[in-house]
Amino acid sequence: MGKVQKTEAEWREKLTPEQYHVTREKGTERPFTGDYQVEPVQGIYHCVCCGAPLFENEHKFEAHCGWPSFDRPLAAASVEEHQDGSHGMRRIEVTCRRCDAHLGHVFPDGPAETTGQRYCINSVAITFHAGE
């Protein structure tokens, strides 16, 4: 599967200003403003930029951090992880493998009974497709 590449102007046309800021400029939405609550609905979250399937609702958990949190991506190949030293922190950035959209960060403080990972994702970077 090849990379989706668009110019800055093409992304700006496709995305809302907030979606553009988060996914293409590595922004962060304000906590407790998005789709952070856990609902018992079957479905898949897709990349808002390119439509790639990224996370499953089944893997979402209540992390009390104000952002949607997952204990794993849909598949290891769905996302890429990069060292991120910005803002004086050592974090691991998570991006969409298909289009390089910034999604959020992954932290090693997820649920110990599953993976121990917390994929802390901006909800403006993902769209939910119920029933998938």
CA nearest to 90, candidates 108, 103, 78 = 108
Q: Which stretch binds Zn ion (CB under 5 A): 12-20, 57-65, 90-98, 124-132?
A: 90-98
Q: Judged by CB under 5 A, which of 43, 52, 84, 128 binds Zn ion?
A: 52
Contact call for residues 55 and 74 (beta carbons, < 8 A): yes
Toward Zn ion, which CB reaches closer, 59 or 98?
Answer: 98
Does 103 engage in binding with Zn ion (CB under 5 A)? no
Pairing relationship of beta strands 43-47 and 126-130 according to DSSP bridges: antiparallel
With beta carbons less than 8 A apart as the criterion, state whether 106 and 119 touch.
yes
* Catalytic residue ranges: 120
Binding region for Zn ion (CB under 5 A): 47, 49-50, 52, 96, 98-99, 101
